[in-house]
């Protein structure tokens, strides 16, 4: 299909699979480096930058990332198809500097994905490392990723109340969630609500008839044993 513009593109690029393809439509591009020696060095630099640009978006064969309360590692073979035969080991570095090994299992729906549950409750920096064993056909692969846990940041991330969590807490504890419009009626309903009364009482053991009877029985038993055995 002829282009309505008299100008033709010099560089055309598009995504192809998980990578990128490009066409440099300049037949005499090589002449640039033949004009003078310094231009040849610039042309070589341009080719290196172009190759790095093409390879920048190509994913690695092994990647790992934290997704909520789980860690997922994705593994591809040499043909960049999901690799389901290799095993991936995971270990996490906690904020205190200790390493924890985690057992990863294959994802039931996504081939080539290994997943392991992990709850990062302590605040601080976390580091996860995924690794595969070397075989005769493939070398060992490693990948790292990290995340930060900050409970205060999660609390102040949104100014809106978490109604779902509040309703869940209220139903579990026998309460209810009130809106601003329900405050006036709630004040009146407090008068009829049963209020639990907690009373703390402290009584010495000697004031209890049971303990007093036990003490007297022990005293009388000891006296009787001494009289029976003619002990002093």
| pLDDT score, position 98 | 92
| pLDDT score, position 128 | 93
| pLDDT score, position 127 | 94
Residues of the chain with pLDDT under 50: 1
| pLDDT score, position 99 | 94
Query: Could you tell me the two tokens for 63?
Result: 């990647």
Measured over the CA atoms of residue 219, residue 224, residue 229 and residue 232, the dihedral's sign is positive
Give first-to-last CA distance, the chain, whole Å. Answer: 126
CA distances 99 to 36, 90, 103, 221, Å, are: 57, 10, 13, 63
State whether residue 5 is helix, strand or coil: coil
Q: What backbone phi and psi angles, to 5 degrees, belong to 212?
A: -65, -40
| pLDDT score, position 91 | 93
Sketch out the chain's domains with CATH numbers.
Answer: 11-56 (no CATH), 62-153 (2.60.40.1220)
C-alpha to C-alpha distance for 92 and 74, rounded to whole angstroms: 16
| pLDDT score, position 3 | 53
């Amino acid at each position: 299909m002829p282009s309505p513009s008299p100008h033709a593109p010099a560089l055309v690029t598009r995504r192809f699979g998980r990578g990128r393809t490009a066409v440099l439509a300049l037949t005499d591009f090589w002449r640039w480096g033949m004009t003078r020696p310094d231009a040849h060095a610039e042309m070589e630099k341009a080719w290196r930058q172009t190759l790095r640009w093409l390879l920048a978006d190509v994913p690695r064969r092994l990647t790992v990332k934290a997704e909520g309360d789980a860690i997922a590692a994705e593994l591809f073979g040499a043909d960049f198809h999901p690799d389901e035969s290799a095993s991936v080991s995971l270990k996490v570095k906690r904020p205190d500097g200790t390493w924890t090994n985690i057992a990863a299992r294959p994802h039931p729906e996504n081939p080539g994905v290994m997943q392991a549950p992990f709850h990062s409750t302590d605040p601080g920096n976390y580091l996860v490392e995924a690794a595969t064993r070397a075989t005769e056909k493939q070398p060992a692969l490693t990948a790292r990723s990290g995340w930060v846990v900050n409970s205060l940041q999660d609390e102040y991330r949104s100014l809106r109340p978490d109604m779902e969590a509040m309703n869940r807490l209220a139903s579990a504890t026998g309460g209810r969630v009130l809106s601003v419009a329900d405050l006036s009626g709630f004040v009146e309903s407090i008068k009829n609500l049963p209020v639990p009364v907690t009373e703390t009482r402290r009584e010495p053991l000697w004031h209890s008839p049971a303990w007093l009877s036990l003490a007297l029985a022990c005293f009388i038993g000891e006296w009787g044993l001494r009289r029976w055995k003619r002990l002093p």
